[in-house]
Structure 1
Amino acid sequence: MAIVFTHLRSFHAVAENRGFTAAADALNISQPTVTTQVKELEERYGVELIVRRGRRIELSETGAALFDVTKRIMTLHEEAEELLLSSGKLETGMLRLAAVGPFHATEMVARFLAKYPSIKVSMLLGNSDQTLQRVLDLESDVAILAHAVDDPRIASVPFSTHDVVVFVNVEHPWYGRDEVSITELAGQPLILREVGSTTRRALEQAALKANVPVRPFLEIGSREGVWKAVERGLGIGVVADFEFVAHPRLGTIRFSDAVVQTEYRLSCLLERRHSPKIEAFMKSVLTP
């Protein structure tokens, strides 16, 4: 039996907006229509998709699985509409980016909008794990990551490579040095981002290779928090060299005997790599 698209659309709206009234507002149709379409979908296949708990709704196990499918369906539906409306000229639509930091991301957005000024762009920032997951969950179209991804579902291309450097405050004994051995980090109070951070991953991989034990003295879930902690003299931080912003109380030091690097890459779902807006973004960013 053929599934009815409008029934799927109503179910998806309810799951996405966590309620029937909010779903009706999002679809610009009446709430009874949404309720009826979801009920017909459940009855047609003899399943329970949405569990009503007073004014709250929850997805059943089948409902949650179907929601994963409808995310892809609605994304492809939007892409088809954008393609047809623009006649291949990409004059409408929304590009959703996820990035590990604003530095390269804002540069990329500027390049893209210079060629496609009518496209709307949104951006979510997070660590590498969060950023990748947003693409896998179809919350974002393109991820700007700082490491290679070993996942057959993901297509990625390199953008740039940067050294990771140590930074300390003016009162630290290392301040003013040009280089430091990675072995000197052993036992030092390290101020690091949370697990999933690109710079932390790069440092830990290099330290493991050099057989140097490194453990965070303080773990902070934001770049700004790490910088403030180092500025206050609580410990030593690490950062990609291009992300370091000159500060009168902070100084950077390069590693003398270890390659500690982050590789920035543009990534998207393999199945969506030929999406017009994704291809346009990749081309505008990677073409000199």
Structure 2
Amino acid sequence: MRLTLRQLQVFAAIARHENVSRAADALAMSQSAASSALVELERQFERPLFDRIGKSLRLNATGHGLRPMAESLLTKAARIEHYLDGNSLEPLSVGATLTIGNYLATLIMGDYLRESPAAQLRLHVANTREIVQQVLSCELDLGLIEGEAHDPNLLLTPWLNDQLVVFCAPDHPLARHDAVDNAQLAEQAWIVRESGSGTRDLIDRMLFSQLPHYQIRLTLEHTEAIKRAVESGLGIGCLSRLALREAFRRGSLVEIPTPQFTLSRHFYFAQHRQRTLGQGAQRFIALCHARWDQQEDTTALPLPFIP
């Protein structure tokens, strides 16, 4: 075999950092050794893998095709190494969208680390678009996302059902209605998530598309910020029922009945189609199922503690 795992490890690190020096530091090797490993890999197959732009290296089309295969092979090699060392789980990077990250993923992290105290686990919380991009670029081993994403290299597996809810402050005029029609909703000031989030995508497709006109007063990137703004009387919002359960229980927010809309969606596990999940990712998914396999949707989930 003409290539080595070390060459692939250097290639993957440079792809991640887009800089030979930073990649060499991450691998605890000299810059010249890292550069030589990359040059030798490209020379062996006469296939450049990066475009050289100043001091940065950007993956070209060949490099983009190689990266998930290299990452998958390195994951398998890490599993062998950890097995031979007596360890069962390789380091794991998980990405979660905001609702999942704030209300579900941390609970799974606790289960995971209680079961394997020595495991290395990283959680990155962002919107759906960013999590999907990082899964596709192999920066994350596994993504937990809200709503759907469409890319031929992305593999989505359904996990839980979720429901979005329109809500307002308890002293808002719509709080006293048994049902609210589209004309009334169109007159309101809306406080919503940013474009690129799974929540905003569903609102745009299933709710705003049915209103004759609508006014977005504020666009915020965090669910808690939206809840606080709505509590302050700045407008109405639409978020996952999971994110609103505690506020509904306290009475600081109330649901606006909107039976004319179907605001249900799935939570999904997202992975790169060409990458093999390591034992850590497989165990993380198993813990997700173990905790909530009996639940049909997030409205039945145990209430998380929110300080």
The 1-side partners of 2:50 and 2:128 are apart by: 32
CA distance in 1, matches of 2:170, 2:163: 22
Query: Which of 56, 67, 73 is equivalent to 1:58?
Result: 56
Say which SS state the counterpart of residue 174 (structure 1) adopts.
Answer: helix
State TM-score, norm by structure 2: 0.77
1:230 aligned residue? 230
Q: Report Cα offsets for 1:189-244 as digits up to 9, x if no partner.
A: 11111112222222222236746544523222232332233233221111111111
Partner Cα separation in structure 2 for residue 47 and residue 209 of structure 1: 47
Q: Are the aligned partners of 2:19 and 2:57 in contact in 1 as well (CA < 8 Å)?
A: no
Aligned 8 A contact 1:112 1:285 in 2? no
Q: Deviations over 1:70-96 (max 9, x none)?
A: 354134313322244226986232221
The equivalent residue for 2:73 is: 76
The answer to whether structure 1 residue 91 and structure 2 residue 122 are counterparts is no
Q: Which residue of 2 aligns with 1:269?
A: 272
Tell me the residue number matched to 1:283.
Answer: 286
| 1:250 alignment counterpart | 253
Give the percent of matched residue pairs that are identical in Structure 1 and Structure 2. Answer: 23
Select between 211-220 and 96-105 the one with higher mean Cα deviation.
211-220
**Residue 22 of structure 1: how far off its partner (Å):** 2.7
Q: Amino acid of the residue matched to residue 94 of structure 1?
A: P
Question: Shift of residue 106 of structure 1?
Answer: 1.8
Query: Which residue in the other structure is 2:220 paired with?
Result: 220
For the 8 Å contact 1:144–1:264, the answer to whether it is kept is yes
Q: How many residues align?
A: 284
Hey, what does 2:186 align to over in structure 1? 186
DSSP 3-state at the match of 1:254: coil
Q: Residues 87 and 180 of structure 1: is their aligned pair in 2 closer, same or farther, counting only changes over 3 Å?
A: farther
In the alignment, which residue of structure 1 is the partner of 2:297?
none
1:155 aligns with 2:158: no
Q: Is the partner of 1:118 in helix, strand or coil?
A: coil
User: Which residue is 1:119 aligned to?
Assistant: 119
8 Å Cα contact 2:157/2:268 also seen in 1: yes
When the two chains are superposed, the root-mean-square deviation of aligned CA atoms in Å is 3.2
1:21 corresponding residue in structure 2: 21
* Amino acid in structure 2 at the alignment position of 1:280: R
1:128-171 Cα offsets, whole Å, 9 max, x none, are 12222221111112211122344443333322222211222244
Deviation (angstroms), 1:61: 6.3
- Contact 2:141–2:271 at 8 Å: present in 1 too? yes
Structure 1 residues without counterparts, runs of 5 or longer: none
SS of alignment partner, residue 82 of structure 2? helix
| 216-225 or 118-127, which deviates more | 216-225
- Structure 2: 5+ residue stretches without partners: 294-307
Distance 1:99 1:61 in 2: 25
- CA distance, structure 2, for counterparts of residue 123 and residue 60 of structure 1: 25
Counterpart of 1:28, as a letter, is: A
